[in-house]
Structures are given as C-alpha cells and as structure tokens.
Amino acid sequence: MCSAGRTIKTLAEDIQYFVTKYGQSPALLRLNGRPVYFCYDSYTLPVNGWATLLDPTSNSTVRGTTIDGELEQLACKLIHRAREGELQYCV
C-alpha cells in the first residue's frame, strides 16, 4: 500500500478507497474485527507523519474512524552506506 511518492494524506485516502471497495469482502484479513493493512516501504514516510496518522488524539488520525485497522509495516534499518549504494536490513 505504500510506495515512493506517497504522503500521509494520500495513504489515508488510499486506505479509505480500499475500505470502501473491499471492506465487506469475506476475503479481507481481519484481526479483532478490524481490517489488516500491509504497508511495504513504510520507512519512506516521515515518522511524525505516522504519529499524526496513528495517534488517537490527532486531528488527522485514522483511529476510531471507519478506516481504522491493524497496520503491519516493513521496518528497515540502514546498516551500511557505501559508494555503490545503501545496504538495508529489513525485519
């Protein structure tokens, strides 16, 4: 769901579209009744943006809304920087 060029605003819009289109599907993975979202390359969005999106007290939060869900993210840590490029360790 996440990729280059995304912002927190476009991510929230994409989640809204996804829930509107597929939210009632029996094939949608749910955890505790909430949809599960998998976000690849989540590290391309700023940490403060994620905090805004996921903090229940934020004006821009998804928490407690119709698009609230479980968000699974790929976390990467830069472990080596070389002239040829960057090596990342992903978990």
The phi and psi torsions of 47 (rounded to 5 degrees) equal -60, -40
Residues 73 and 42 sit within 8 Å (Cβ to Cβ): yes
Report the pLDDT value the prediction gives residue 85, as an integer from 0 to 100. 53
Q: What mean pLDDT do residues 30-39 have?
A: 88
Report the pLDDT value the prediction gives residue 87, as an integer from 0 to 100. 46
Report the pLDDT value the prediction gives residue 45, as an integer from 0 to 100. 80
Q: Which alpha helices (DSSP H) does the chain contain, by range?
A: 8-22, 47-54
pLDDT at 2 over 70: no
Query: For residues 87 and 15, which has the higher predicted lDDT (pLDDT)?
Result: 15
Whole-structure pTM value: 0.69
Query: For residues 19 and 7, which has the higher predicted lDDT (pLDDT)?
Result: 19
